[in-house]
Protein backbone atom coordinates (compact mmCIF):
# COMPACT_ATOMS: atom_id res chain seq x y z
CA UNK A 1 0.00 0.00 0.00
CA UNK A 2 2.79 2.37 0.94
CA UNK A 3 4.53 1.84 -2.40
CA UNK A 4 1.31 2.58 -4.30
CA UNK A 5 0.83 5.88 -2.43
CA UNK A 6 4.43 6.83 -3.09
CA UNK A 7 4.04 6.02 -6.80
CA UNK A 8 0.80 8.04 -7.03
CA UNK A 9 2.39 10.99 -5.27
CA UNK A 10 5.40 10.85 -7.55
CA UNK A 11 3.16 10.58 -10.62
CA UNK A 12 1.06 13.54 -9.41
CA UNK A 13 4.14 15.69 -8.84
CA UNK A 14 5.51 14.85 -12.27
CA UNK A 15 2.15 15.59 -13.90
CA UNK A 16 1.91 18.88 -12.00
CA UNK A 17 5.34 20.08 -13.10
CA UNK A 18 4.80 18.95 -16.69
CA UNK A 19 1.55 20.91 -16.65
CA UNK A 20 3.40 24.00 -15.46
CA UNK A 21 5.92 23.61 -18.25
CA UNK A 22 3.14 23.44 -20.82
CA UNK A 23 1.29 26.46 -19.41
CA UNK A 24 4.28 28.68 -18.68
CA UNK A 25 5.57 29.40 -22.21
CA UNK A 26 2.48 31.38 -23.36
CA UNK A 27 2.70 33.62 -20.31
CA UNK A 28 6.41 34.14 -20.89
CA UNK A 29 5.75 34.79 -24.58
CA UNK A 30 3.13 37.42 -23.69
CA UNK A 31 5.57 39.17 -21.35
CA UNK A 32 8.25 38.99 -24.02
CA UNK A 33 5.82 40.62 -26.49
CA UNK A 34 5.28 43.48 -24.03
CA UNK A 35 9.02 43.94 -23.51
CA UNK A 36 9.62 43.86 -27.27
CA UNK A 37 6.87 46.44 -27.87
CA UNK A 38 8.31 48.71 -25.19
CA UNK A 39 11.78 48.47 -26.69
CA UNK A 40 10.50 49.30 -30.17
CA UNK A 41 8.48 52.24 -28.83
CA UNK A 42 11.51 53.58 -26.93
CA UNK A 43 13.42 53.37 -30.18
CA UNK A 44 10.66 55.35 -31.89
CA UNK A 45 10.82 57.97 -29.16
CA UNK A 46 14.58 58.24 -29.58
CA UNK A 47 14.32 58.77 -33.34
CA UNK A 48 11.50 61.28 -32.89
CA UNK A 49 13.55 63.17 -30.29
CA UNK A 50 16.64 63.23 -32.48
CA UNK A 51 14.66 64.35 -35.50
CA UNK A 52 12.91 67.04 -33.45
CA UNK A 53 16.31 68.50 -32.61
CA UNK A 54 17.13 68.66 -36.33
CA UNK A 55 13.72 70.07 -37.34
CA UNK A 56 13.91 72.76 -34.62
CA UNK A 57 17.42 73.72 -35.70
CA UNK A 58 18.95 72.78 -32.36
CA UNK A 59 21.54 70.64 -34.15
CA UNK A 60 22.74 70.74 -37.73
CA UNK A 61 22.61 67.24 -39.12
CA UNK A 62 20.55 67.45 -42.30
CA UNK A 63 22.34 64.35 -43.55
CA UNK A 64 20.74 62.36 -40.69
CA UNK A 65 17.15 63.25 -41.60
CA UNK A 66 16.72 60.40 -44.07
CA UNK A 67 18.04 57.77 -41.65
CA UNK A 68 15.74 58.92 -38.82
CA UNK A 69 12.78 59.19 -41.17
CA UNK A 70 13.36 55.67 -42.53
CA UNK A 71 13.70 54.27 -39.01
CA UNK A 72 10.44 55.94 -37.98
CA UNK A 73 8.73 54.59 -41.11
CA UNK A 74 10.08 51.09 -40.43
CA UNK A 75 8.49 51.22 -36.98
CA UNK A 76 5.33 52.53 -38.64
CA UNK A 77 5.24 49.36 -40.73
CA UNK A 78 5.83 47.20 -37.62
CA UNK A 79 3.35 48.92 -35.33
CA UNK A 80 0.36 46.78 -36.30
CA UNK A 81 2.24 43.69 -35.11
CA UNK A 82 3.29 45.07 -31.71
CA UNK A 83 0.01 44.49 -29.86
CA UNK A 84 -0.87 40.78 -30.26
CA UNK A 85 -3.69 39.22 -28.29
CA UNK A 86 -2.49 38.37 -24.80
CA UNK A 87 0.12 41.13 -24.64
CA UNK A 88 -1.98 43.15 -22.24
CA UNK A 89 -0.18 41.61 -19.27
CA UNK A 90 2.41 42.80 -16.82
CA UNK A 91 3.94 46.24 -16.81
CA UNK A 92 2.39 47.71 -19.94
CA UNK A 93 1.22 51.23 -20.57
CA UNK A 94 -1.26 50.05 -23.19
CA UNK A 95 -4.88 50.49 -22.19
CA UNK A 96 -7.44 47.68 -22.59
CA UNK A 97 -9.01 49.78 -25.36
CA UNK A 98 -6.25 48.51 -27.69
CA UNK A 99 -7.82 45.05 -27.63
CA UNK A 100 -11.42 46.10 -26.89
CA UNK A 101 -11.63 48.48 -29.87
CA UNK A 102 -9.45 46.77 -32.48
CA UNK A 103 -10.94 48.58 -35.50
CA UNK A 104 -10.36 52.03 -34.01
CA UNK A 105 -6.88 51.05 -32.86
CA UNK A 106 -6.07 49.69 -36.32
CA UNK A 107 -7.10 53.04 -37.81
CA UNK A 108 -4.75 55.08 -35.62
CA UNK A 109 -1.93 52.63 -36.32
CA UNK A 110 -2.62 52.90 -40.07
CA UNK A 111 -2.58 56.71 -39.76
CA UNK A 112 0.85 56.48 -38.11
CA UNK A 113 2.11 54.17 -40.85
CA UNK A 114 0.90 56.58 -43.55
CA UNK A 115 2.31 59.67 -41.83
CA UNK A 116 5.67 58.01 -41.25
CA UNK A 117 5.83 56.94 -44.92
CA UNK A 118 5.08 60.53 -45.91
CA UNK A 119 7.95 61.68 -43.70
CA UNK A 120 10.34 59.54 -45.73
CA UNK A 121 8.98 61.10 -48.92
CA UNK A 122 10.28 64.51 -47.81
CA UNK A 123 13.96 64.63 -48.65
CA UNK A 124 14.75 67.17 -45.96
CA UNK A 125 15.78 69.90 -48.40
CA UNK A 126 12.49 71.77 -47.88
CA UNK A 127 12.45 72.55 -44.17
CA UNK A 128 8.79 73.63 -44.24
CA UNK A 129 7.69 70.34 -45.83
CA UNK A 130 9.89 68.39 -43.43
CA UNK A 131 8.45 70.24 -40.44
CA UNK A 132 4.87 69.64 -41.62
CA UNK A 133 5.48 65.92 -42.24
CA UNK A 134 7.23 65.56 -38.88
CA UNK A 135 4.36 67.34 -37.10
CA UNK A 136 1.88 64.99 -38.80
CA UNK A 137 3.75 61.98 -37.42
CA UNK A 138 3.72 63.59 -33.98
CA UNK A 139 -0.05 64.10 -34.19
CA UNK A 140 -0.57 60.41 -34.98
CA UNK A 141 1.55 59.46 -31.98
CA UNK A 142 -0.44 61.82 -29.77
CA UNK A 143 -3.75 60.57 -31.13
CA UNK A 144 -2.86 57.02 -30.20
CA UNK A 145 -1.50 57.97 -26.78
CA UNK A 146 -4.64 59.92 -25.85
CA UNK A 147 -6.97 56.98 -26.31
CA UNK A 148 -4.84 53.86 -26.07
CA UNK A 149 -2.02 54.59 -23.61
CA UNK A 150 -2.05 55.15 -19.86
CA UNK A 151 -1.15 58.63 -18.72
CA UNK A 152 2.34 58.83 -17.23
Structural domains of the chain, ranges and CATH numbers in brackets: 2-148 (1.20.120.10)
Is residue 13's pLDDT more than 60? no
Confidence category of residue 2, pLDDT binned at 50, 70, 90: low
Residue 8 has pLDDT above 70, yes or no: no
pTM: 0.80
Contact 69, 119 (CB under 8 A): yes
Residue of 111 and 13 predicted with greater confidence? 111
- Return phi, psi of residue 93, to 5°: -90, -5
| Residue 44, pLDDT above cutoff 50 | yes
Confidence band of 124 (pLDDT split at 50, 70, 90): confident
Q: Which residues contact 30 (CB under 8 A, 6 or more apart)?
A: 86, 87, 89, 90
Give burial (CB, 10 Å; 0-12/13-18/19+) of 5.
Answer: exposed
pLDDT digits 0-9 by tens, 50-64: 999 999 999 999 999
CA–CA dist 129, 55 (Å, integer)? 10
Amino acid sequence: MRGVLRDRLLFSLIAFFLGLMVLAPPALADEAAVKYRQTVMKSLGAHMGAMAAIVKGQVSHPDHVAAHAESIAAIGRMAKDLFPAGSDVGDTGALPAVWEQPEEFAKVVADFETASANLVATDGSDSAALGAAFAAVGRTCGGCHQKFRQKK
